[in-house]
Amino acid sequence: MKIAIDISNVSVTISDKEILKNINISLEEGHFLGIVGPNGGGKTTLIKVILGLIKPTSGSVSIFGAPPDSLILGNGFFGYLPQHQNIDPNFPATSLDIVLMGRYRKAGFFRWPGQKDREIAMKYMSIMGIENLKGAQYSRLSGGQQQRVSIARALAGEPRILILDEPSTGIDVVGQENFYHLLKGLQKKMNLTILMVSHDIGSVTTYVDEISCLNIKLYYHGNPLGALSDKVMTSLYGKNVDLLMHTDACDKCERLRP
């Protein structure tokens, strides 16, 4: 297997504040990684380091063997869904317009999307189950519908790595479960490498292949169930926590105290 993302001894200090300290993560192509941890723990900063938007103070990052800042203007590596998307409620763009924005890097920012671009955009809208929304005004869609449109936009660039920062924000519990199932299907169907930041530890452990527990330092990386240990959770959050996990075996929520 190829190594998609290799993070080696990465530290980030901004304005004399240590944001990340000595992070080491290696992720194979086609794997699904969940990153969990408290607010202010450096999760979004780590994503920006991977994307090449922030340079580490020390250490290195490689994406399929190349530094990320050499790929940021290249084609086909990253699809990115940020945590916050502030949309003017009067913004007139349709869902198809939004998805077509994902083609700009492939097609060129100064070229109007052509028929092939529209076909590719509709392909990913169909995969996301939103082809019927192509003419709907994006700003008037529900939170779950907007998330699906935004992911279709990220996929329209045909990336090798999909990065999602808190993608289930604003989606109800049932919608979140459907959303995670959808991501898992995309991973398998497209051999897509997925990196997802989430606070939903209970659900994330069900769907990801690997999990990283981050709070400035990396407290755990490996099998998802290993993250639920008392030692890891206490180190990560500084105290005991209760987790609600959905278990397929009994089809109900089970309270776990790690």
pLDDT tens by residue, 8-64:
999 999 999 999 999 999 999 999 999 999 989 999 999 999 999 999 999 999 999
Q: Indicate the pLDDT class of residue 3, thresholds 50, 70 and 90.
A: very high
Helix (H, G, I), strand (E, B) or coil at 170: coil
Distances in Å between the alpha carbon of 137 and those of 35, 91, 94, 152, 157?
32, 8, 4, 15, 21
More confident residue, 30 or 237: 30
Question: What pLDDT shows up at residue 254?
Answer: 38
Question: What pLDDT shows up at residue 202?
Answer: 74
pLDDT (average), residues 237-244:
64
pLDDT tens by residue, 154-196:
899 889 999 999 886 656 666 677 778 888 988 988 899 999 9
In sequence order, which residues have a C-beta less than 8 Å from that of residue 185 and are 6 or more positions away? none
Question: What pLDDT shows up at residue 255?
Answer: 36
CB count within 10 Å of CB 55 equals 12
CB-based burial label for 255 (10 Å; 0-12, 13-18, 19+): exposed
Question: What pLDDT shows up at residue 57?
Answer: 96
CB count within 10 Å of CB 235 equals 14
pLDDT tens by residue, 73-86:
445 688 888 877 66
Question: What pLDDT shows up at residue 168?
Answer: 66
pLDDT tens by residue, 207-228:
899 999 999 999 999 999 888 8
